[in-house]
Amino acid sequence: MITSLSIENFALIEKLSVKFTDGFSVITGETGAGKSILLGALGLVLGKRADLTSLKNKEEKCIIEANFFIKNYSLQSFFETNDLDYEDETIIRREILPSGKSRAFINDTPVNLSELQELSQYLIDIHSQHQTQELSDDVVQFQIIDSVAGNLDLINDYSFKLKEYKKFKSDLKSKNELLQLALKEQDYNAFLLEELLSVNLKSDEQEALEIQFEKLNNVEFIKENIVKSLAVANAEQFGVLENLKEIKLSLQKIASFSVEYSSLYERLNSVLIEFDDIEKELNQLSETIFSNPEELELINQKLQLIYALQKKHQVNSIAELLQIQNDLDSKVVSVSTLEFEIESIEKQIVEIENALNSFADKIHNNRVEAIPVLTNKLTLILEQLGMGNARFNIQPTKKDIYFSNGKDELQFLFSANKGSDFGLLKKVASGGEMSRIMLAVKAVLSKYSKLPTIIFDEIDTGVSGEIAHKMGEIMKEMSTNMQVFAITHLPQIAGKGKEHFKVFKVIKDNQTQSELKLLSPDERIVEIAQMLSGSTISDSALNHAKELLN
């Protein structure tokens, strides 16, 4: 329940602080006094969006803070899930800065609006006049029935399974599309793969083959030049080797005369050793080089295959061809893999469907059992509210469709008068009747709901006299299970409150301000008398006010 509310710099409110108790509280005041401002401020605390028009003084920030006692409402899991500090006395604060930005805090921890809105669903139900039309909405009608049926946990389990079901159905559709595509391309992919596999490609093979091909293709030219090199090196008179030996001998004779000559000698000796090694390797190569037309042809054929494949697949290396080979292998294998995966998903879908059907059957059966209980309670309350001939015809029909809350479609029909046909609520119920039906619904749900607080914003519009008295009694009875507020213009309802608050306007420093005051017993008598007779209070109005309060 809400225990206190403080407001600073919001609309017509400069500064306001008020405490609330449990039970039934009423709020009265003239039209335009600021009752809607209170609801607006409370709406901001509960996560509604704000703008700069909310600020009374545009140069200062607006602060709205509400305290909620939530010990008995099992909300610890929400705080754990959202990584928030849990307190039995939880404080929600909303700030609107002059820049237009807003901030929200739960127990001094910054939160975003979505978290605030989620928490508010467990704290307060603010019922305004326009929300009465929500009774005609299927979702709201199901919520009413399911609250009485005790279906909320079942529907949560069903919803979790439904998410799984939709995910698997989506996966199955994707896998089937991939399979159809893979089947279309399978033969061609298999042909391309076999073509690549038949060449038996190796990553560094192309360069080695090209080198070997060049050597075999030019074997005569290579041999001729090696022989010529050996001849030049080994000629008896003018061979390079002999000439180097001759130079070495000459330098050896003068090496002892200076460091320069000695260095030249050493360098030439190194050249001679290196050249000697070259000459030996040339001899060895000369002995190993020979023509091999068969091997040349084989190498040429493989290179041509490689070049053709590179051109076909628009790549420049064997490494890229091997990558394509791997991709094709995956595609060819993926057909059987996809078929296996599809079979597995289909089995899981069948299991989930069985679970969904089981949940949906339980939800349906609970609804069927709860509807007579609900309709009986509603008709009894409506009879007190002057609608003695009100009747409901509520029928859930099972379908082969998985809806968000089961497999039922709902026919929620109403008749207000004896002998009248049943029809849709929004077509056959007047505005006043809809208000009374909504109050009856809220009264029934108060016995099943765990919601701490409900606020009725002028739900009594269009009623008076004895009906207003009965509405007040019903709200008072509701307050035994939850905290109830009623914003009202009717003295019959105002007299039923455990506490009575008055909203009024004052002029301070040439500025209009809205204020809220908890009325004393004597002040309540005057306020209710004014509601009965206007600004001129008669003795009969005062006596009537005392009777209403007693």
Do residues 75 and 193 share a domain? Answer: no
Q: What is Dmax (Cα atoms) for the chain?
A: 154
SS3 519: coil
Name the one residue in this structure whose structure tokens are 């008179």: 237
Range of the domain at 31: 1-123+451-519
Percent of residues, the chain, with pLDDT higher than 70: 93
Q: How confident is the model at residue 401 (pLDDT cuts 50, 70, 90)?
A: very high
Nearest to 73 by CA among 484, 443, 451, 480: 451
Among 306, 337, 368, the domain boundary falls at: 337
Strand partners, 409: 397
Quote the tokens at residue 393. Answer: 């015809």
Do residues 234 and 112 share a domain? Answer: no
Give 490 or 35, the one with higher predicted confidence: 490
Do residues 75 and 222 share a domain? Answer: no
Q: Do the domain assignments include residue 279?
A: yes
Domain count across the chain:
2
CB 194 within 8 A of CB 381: no
pLDDT tens readout for residues 315-369: 887 778 778 777 776 666 567 788 888 999 999 999 999 999 999 999 999 999 9
Q: What is the mean pLDDT of residues 107-111?
A: 93
Q: What is the mean pLDDT of residues 529-540?
A: 85
> Considering the entire predicted model, what is its pTM?
0.68
Do residues 314 and 188 share a domain? Answer: yes
State the DSSP H helix or E strand holding residue 508, giving kind and residue range, or none if neither: strand 499-508
Q: In sequence order, which residues have a C-beta less than 8 Å from that of residue 442 and are 6 or more positions away?
A: 125, 127, 454, 456, 478
For the ranges 45-59, 142-156, 343-357, the lowest mean pLDDT is seen at: 45-59
Q: Do the domain assignments include residue 401?
A: no
Do residues 3 and 72 share a domain? Answer: yes
pLDDT tens readout for residues 183-210: 766 666 667 767 777 777 777 777 777 7
Q: In sequence order, which residues have a C-beta less than 8 Å from that of residue 167 and are 6 or more positions away?
A: none
Name the one residue in this structure whose structure tokens are 């091999």: 292
Nearest to 524 by CA among 493, 490, 549: 549
Give 226 or 8, the one with higher predicted confidence: 8
Among 337, 368, 403, the domain boundary falls at: 337
Do residues 113 and 181 share a domain? Answer: no
Q: How confident is the model at residue 130 (pLDDT cuts 50, 70, 90)?
A: low
Q: Do the domain assignments include residue 165?
A: no
- What order do you get walking across the sheet with 499-508 strand by strand? 124-127, 453-457, 483-487, 24-28, 499-508, 511-518
Do residues 16 and 88 share a domain? Answer: yes
Q: How confident is the model at residue 536 (pLDDT cuts 50, 70, 90)?
A: confident
Q: Do the domain assignments include residue 343?
A: no
Nearest to 454 by CA among 100, 71, 42, 85: 42
SS3 86: coil
Strand partners, 68: 2, 90
Do residues 209 and 286 share a domain? Answer: yes
Do residues 81 and 210 share a domain? Answer: no
Cα-based angle 496, 499, 505 (whole degrees, multiple of 5): 110
For the ranges 340-349, 358-367, 425-434, 499-508, the lowest mean pLDDT is seen at: 425-434
Q: Do the domain assignments include residue 379?
A: no
What CATH code is carried by the domain that includes residue 40?
Answer: 3.40.50.300
Q: What is the pLDDT of residue 493?
A: 92
Q: What is the pLDDT of residue 23?
A: 92
Q: What is the pLDDT of residue 333?
A: 55
Q: What is the mean pLDDT of residues 484-506?
A: 92
Give 120 or 34, the one with higher predicted confidence: 120
Q: What is the pLDDT of residue 331?
A: 63
Q: What is the pLDDT of residue 233?
A: 67
Q: What is the pLDDT of residue 164?
A: 94
Please give the span between the terminal C-alpha atoms of the chain, in angstroms, as a whole number.
Answer: 26
Q: How confident is the model at residue 64 (pLDDT cuts 50, 70, 90)?
A: very high
Do residues 225 and 90 share a domain? Answer: no
Percent of residues, the chain, with pLDDT higher than 90: 37
Do residues 3 and 91 share a domain? Answer: yes
Q: Is the pLDDT of residue 91 over 90?
A: yes
Give 256 or 84, the one with higher predicted confidence: 84
Q: Rounded CA gap, 392 and 334, in Å?
A: 58
Q: What is the pLDDT of residue 290?
A: 67
State the DSSP H helix or E strand holding residue 184, giving kind and residue range, or none if neither: helix 152-199
Q: How confident is the model at residue 382 (pLDDT cuts 50, 70, 90)?
A: very high
pLDDT tens readout for residues 323-338: 877 777 666 656 778 8
Q: What is the pLDDT of residue 69?
A: 93
Q: How confident is the model at residue 171 (pLDDT cuts 50, 70, 90)?
A: very high
Q: Is the pLDDT of residue 119 over 70?
A: yes
Q: Do the domain assignments include residue 470?
A: yes
CB 440 within 8 A of CB 385: yes
Q: What is the mean pLDDT of residues 295-311?
A: 76
Q: Do the domain assignments include residue 84?
A: yes
Q: How confident is the model at residue 107 (pLDDT cuts 50, 70, 90)?
A: very high
Among 337, 363, 382, the domain boundary falls at: 337
Q: Rounded CA gap, 457 and 477, in Å?
A: 18
Do residues 11 and 96 share a domain? Answer: yes
Q: What is the pLDDT of residue 189?
A: 65
**3-state DSSP helix/strand/coil % of the chain, to nearest 5:** 60, 20, 20
- The dihedral through the CA atoms of 261, 264, 266, 272 has a sign that is negative
Q: How confident is the model at residue 304 (pLDDT cuts 50, 70, 90)?
A: confident
Q: Do the domain assignments include residue 368?
A: no
Q: What is the mean pLDDT of residues 51-55?
A: 76
Q: What is the mean pLDDT of residues 242-270?
A: 81
